[in-house]
Chain A
Amino acid sequence: MVGLMDFVQYLPPLLRGAGLTLVICVAAGVLGSLIGVVFGTAKASPCFIARAISSLYVNFIRGVPILIILLFTYFALPLMLPALTFSRGFTAVVGLSVYSGAYMAEIVRGGIQAVPKGQSEAAEALGMHYFTRLRYVIFPQAMKIAVPPGIGFLIALVKASSLVSVIGFVDLTRAGRIVTTLNQEPLLTFLIVGALYFVISYPISLLGTWYERKLA
Chain B
Amino acid sequence: MIITVEGLHKSFGKLEVLKGIDCAVAEGEVLCVIGPSGSGKSTFLRCLNFLESFKEGHVTISGHNLTGAKTNLNAVRRDVGMVFQSFNVFPHMKVIDNIMLAPMKVGKVSRADARSRGMALLEKVGLTNKADVYPSTLSGGQMQRVAIARALAMEPTVMLFDEPTSALDPETVGDVLDVMKKLAEEGMTMVVVTHEMGFAREVADRVLFMDAGLIVEEGTPAQIFESPQHARTQAFLSKLL
Mark A residues whose CB is within 8 Å of B.
116, 118-119, 121-129, 132, 136-137, 140-141, 144, 215
Interface 9-residue window, one of B25-33, B82-90, B120-128: B82-90
Chain B count of residues within 8 A CB distance of the other chain: 25
Q: Which residues of the other chain, A, contact B51 by a CB distance below 8 angstroms?
A: 121, 124-125
Interface 9-residue window, one of B9-17, B98-106, B173-181: B98-106
Given contacts A118-B84, A118-B86, A121-B84, are A126 and B92 in contact (CB under 8 A)?
A: no
Q: What residue of chain A has the Cβ atom nearest to residue B92's Cβ? A: A140
A-B contact count (CB 8 A): 62
Residue from B88, B91, B92, B150 within 8 A of A121 (CB atoms): B88
- Most chain B Cβ neighbours within 10 Å, of A118, A122, A128, A140: A122
CA distance A215 to B106 in the complex (A): 25
Q: Residue B154 at the A interface, CB < 8 A? A: yes
Mark B residues whose CB is within 8 Å of A.
49, 51, 74-78, 80-82, 84, 86, 88-92, 101-102, 105-106, 147, 150-151, 154
Q: Is the CB of A128 within 8 A of B106?
A: yes
Q: Which residues of the other chain, A, contact B147 by a CB distance below 8 angstroms?
A: 122
Q: Can you list 14 A-B contacts (CB < 8 A)? A: A122-B90, A122-B150, A124-B51, A125-B51, A125-B82, A126-B77, A126-B102, A126-B151, A127-B74, A127-B154, A128-B74, A129-B74, A137-B101, A141-B92
- List 6 extra interface pairs beyond A122-B89, A140-B92, A144-B92, CB under 8 A: A122-B82, A122-B90, A122-B150, A124-B77, A127-B102, A127-B154
Q: What residue of chain A has the Cβ atom nearest to residue B49's Cβ? A: A125
Q: Which residues of the other chain, B, contact A122 by a CB distance below 8 angstroms?
A: 82, 84, 88-90, 147, 150
Q: Which residues of the other chain, B, contact A118 by a CB distance below 8 angstroms?
A: 84, 86, 88
Q: Is the CB of B82 within 8 A of A127?
A: no
Q: Which residues of the other chain, B, contact A126 by a CB distance below 8 angstroms?
A: 77-78, 81, 101-102, 106, 150-151, 154
Q: Which residues of the other chain, A, contact B49 by a CB distance below 8 angstroms?
A: 125
Q: Is the CB of A119 within 8 A of B102?
A: no
CA distance A144 to B81 in the complex (A): 28
Output the least CB separation between B121 and chain A (Å): 14
Q: Which residues of the other chain, A, contact B105 by a CB distance below 8 angstroms?
A: 128, 132, 136
Q: Is the CB of B106 within 8 A of A125?
A: no
CA distance A129 to B72 in the complex (A): 11
Q: Which residues of the other chain, B, contact A215 by a CB distance below 8 angstroms?
A: 92
Residue from A127, A136, A140, A141 within 8 A of B78 (CB atoms): A127
CA distance A122 to B151 in the complex (A): 9
Q: What residue of chain B has the Cβ atom nearest to residue A129's Cβ? A: B74
CA distance A125 to B105 in the complex (A): 14
Q: Is the CB of A125 within 8 A of B90?
A: no
Output the least CB separation between B166 and chain A (Å): 14
Q: Which residues of the other chain, A, contact B102 by a CB distance below 8 angstroms?
A: 123, 126-128
Q: Is the CB of A141 within 8 A of B77?
A: no
Q: Which residues of the other chain, B, contact A136 by a CB distance below 8 angstroms?
A: 101, 105
- Most chain A Cβ neighbours within 10 Å, of B80, B86, B88, B154: B88
Q: What residue of chain A has the Cβ atom nearest to residue B90's Cβ? A: A137
Given contacts A121-B84, A125-B77, are A132 and B106 in contact (CB under 8 A)?
A: yes
Output the least CB separation between A211 and chain B (Å): 14
Residue from A119, A123, A127, A144 within 8 A of B75 (CB atoms): A127
Q: Is the CB of A141 within 8 A of B88?
A: no
